[in-house]
Amino acid sequence: MSVTSFQDLPLADREREWDGDAAEKRVREWAGATDEPNEKYRDAHVWYDAEHKTNFTAYKLLVADVVDGRLRAVPRGVMAAAAVMQGSRGGVDLPDKDRDRVRSHLAKYYAKMGEDAPWERD
């Protein structure tokens, strides 16, 4: 199990809609990951199961999309991932040992957006 390295991706426009399924398709195409995931594909996610890294289903918490040919973190994607981490939409099944690192990763994008992550607010 593994938390991806923080990529410090540029942010997409704050108002950009988030459609995770459509973003997934665009990221696969951009990364050239048509048959199996690769490192570029991994960079769009916050977490993956390193033991099964050749399976698309091993990747969770997609926060990026391809905008104008470049991979960008999408604020609403970051917010959706944070909501899932807090149990929304059924939550996400991650090892307990990875949860703090995932929150830290997401908090860095919140900081780029000029906000505190939901779990850092009063």
For residue 108, the tally of other CB atoms under 10 A from its CB is: 15
For residue 39, the tally of other CB atoms under 10 A from its CB is: 10
Task: Give per-residue pLDDT as tens, 73-113.
Answer: 999 999 999 999 988 666 788 998 999 999 999 999 999 99
At residue 69, the pLDDT reads 96
- Give the sign of the dihedral formed by CA 114, CA 70, CA 4, CA 98: positive
Q: How many domains does the chain contain in total?
A: 1
* Residue 1 confidence (pLDDT) above 90: no
At residue 90, the pLDDT reads 62
Mean pLDDT of the residues in the chain: 94
**Residue numbers of the domain that contains 19:** 2-120
* Residue 122 confidence (pLDDT) above 80: no
